[in-house]
């Protein structure tokens, strides 16, 4: 495997693990109407991050890759937003896991944003 292929596989694993970790984390949120809505949105955006990254990896052209990677950036950014809402609304007692997930989302966001930006410059 090339370095690029190894990186792609690691990112597939990382984005899927992020979605699974979010699902598990959401089970620990305080039970209220708001947490139900936020959980739905967060699970949706976090799982969409990995799904769209996989789709980007299968892109048939640079334009298709760019389109998919833009969606990935939007979805991971949305995931960060919902994690911030959970923190601000104090919906979680697990502050360490919330912080870890926020850092992970931020790291994925930076990586995907860089991929998006470098692809745009090559177009």
Structural domain count, the chain? 1
What is the span of the domain harbouring residue 13?
3-122
Ramachandran angles phi, psi of 106, nearest 5°:
-65, -40
pTM of the entire predicted model: 0.93
Predicted pLDDT at 98: 98
CATH number (domain holding residue 47): 1.20.1440.60
Predicted pLDDT at 122: 64
Local mean pLDDT, 10-residue blocks, the chain (123 residues)? 92 98 97 95 98 96 94 98 97 97 98 89 63
Predicted pLDDT at 56: 96
Residue 111: CB atoms within 10 A of its CB come to 18
Predicted pLDDT at 123: 54
């Amino acid at each position: 495997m090339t370095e690029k292929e190894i990186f792609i596989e690691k990112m597939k694993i990382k984005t899927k693990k992020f979605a699974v970790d979010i699902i598990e984390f959401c089970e620990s949120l305080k039970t209220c109407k708001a947490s139900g809505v936020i959980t739905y949105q967060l699970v949706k955006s976090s799982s969409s991050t990995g799904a769209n990254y996989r789709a980007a990896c299968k892109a048939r052209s640079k334009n298709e890759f760019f389109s998919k990677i833009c969606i990935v950036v939007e979805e991971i950014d949305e995931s960060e937003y919902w994690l911030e809402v959970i923190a601000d609304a104090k919906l979680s007692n697990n502050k360490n896991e919330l912080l870890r997930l926020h850092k992970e989302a931020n790291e994925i966001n930076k990586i995907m944003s860089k991929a998006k930006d470098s692809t745009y410059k090559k177009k």
